Structure 1
């Protein structure tokens, strides 16, 4: 499992993020405060506070390509 923070600052960022995550078979969870949602759920993501960084938990160890695709959203 890998964990990192990302920032989705616009509606287009959320749409792009969901399109990327949906291509992969493994589960990805987003955590904001005490709320945890499925990263493949666009409605779930919009229920989070998008003004703050969101914690991402990738339930796979083989996710290097996935991480590369999400690079523009990841907070370094």
Structure 2
């Protein structure tokens, strides 16, 4: 299981993230506190407070998704 911490500052960043997640054949969850959202759901992602740090949890790897994820990762 992979877990990364990300932060978004613009809606376009969320759109790029969701688009990359949708290309993956495996499940990707975004966790904010006790809330878990499907990373492939644009409405779900927009409902989160995405200015805060979010955890991205997934079981498999995809090079394109990893490249997009890298842009928004925090330390």
Superposition TM-score, scaled by structure 2 size: 0.90
Unaligned runs of 5+ in 1: none
Supply the RMSD in Å over aligned alpha carbons.
Answer: 1.1
Q: Supply the distance in 2 between the matched residues of 1:34 and 1:49 (Cα, whole angstroms).
A: 13
Q: Supply the distance in 1 between the matched residues of 2:54 and 2:41 (Cα, whole angstroms).
A: 14
Large movers: runs of 4+ above 4 Å: none
Aligned residues: 74
5 Å matches for 1:3-42? 3-42=3-42
* 1:72 equivalent in structure 2: 71
Superposition TM-score, scaled by structure 1 size: 0.89
Unaligned runs of 5+ in 2: none
Report deviation, 1:69.
Answer: 2.9
